[in-house]
Amino acid sequence: GSGFYHVRARHLGFTSAEITTDLAKNGHVDLKFELKARPAMLDSVIVEANGKCPPMSYGGFNCRRRNGKGVYLTDDDIGDKGAIELGEVFEGIPGFRTEMRFTQYGRRPVPIATRGNRCINALVNGRPLSVTNPLPHYANELIAVEIYATPSDVPAEYQRYVWMGSARQSTAILERFIPDESCSVVVYWTSY
C-alpha cells in the first residue's frame, strides 16, 4: 500500500545504504542505491596460549563476542537500531542512557553510564582516544562496537582502561566525582 517505507541495501564487501521512500503515487517507485566498497576487514590469525583475544585488531571483537560479558553490536545491528548519532547506539543497552548535550558539533545525544562512577571510557580500534585516534562522529562509521557497562565485565586486555581518565568519553553530571573510581568501557571499531 501507500505510505513511507525505509529500504536498506546491503552487500558483502560494501557499506550499506538506506533510502526512505513514499509509495503514495501508483505503488511503484524506482530506487537507485550507490554502495561504496569497504576494504576487507580480515585480520591475520593470531593464536595465543593464554586465551586472551587480540586487543588492537578487529579479530579480537569476534573472539571476545564468543565468551565475553559485554554487548557486541555489528554494523548490521547498529543499522537495525536506526542509529545515526554515536549516542543512539546506546539506546536500549542496559546500564546506559543518552542525554542531549552541547558538543563541538552542536547539540548531540551523548551516552551516559548509569552504573558505578557513571562515566564511559572509550577506545577506538583498541586504542585510547587521542588527537590522532578520535571518536567517530556518526554511527555509520562503525563496523562494530563492544560495550561493557560494568567495569568488572571488561575483559583482561582492556582492564587498565577502566581507570584511564584521558580516555573519558562522557561523565554524568554529579556533585562529587571520584577520579580513581572505575568507569564503563566502550570499544568502537571503525572503517578508518
What are 96-141's pLDDT values in tens digits? Answer: 999 999 887 789 999 999 987 889 999 999 999 888 999 998 999 9
**Is the pLDDT confidence value at 41 over 60?**
no
125: left (phi over 0), alpha (psi -120 to 50) or beta: left
**Is the pLDDT confidence value at 1 over 90?**
no
C-alpha dist (Å) from residue 8 to 22, 25, 36, 79, 99: 14, 21, 14, 9, 28
Cell representation of residue 180: 580513581
**Is the pLDDT confidence value at 179 over 80?**
no
Rounded distance between C-alpha atoms, residue 53 and residue 124, angstroms: 16
**Stated pTM of the model:** 0.74
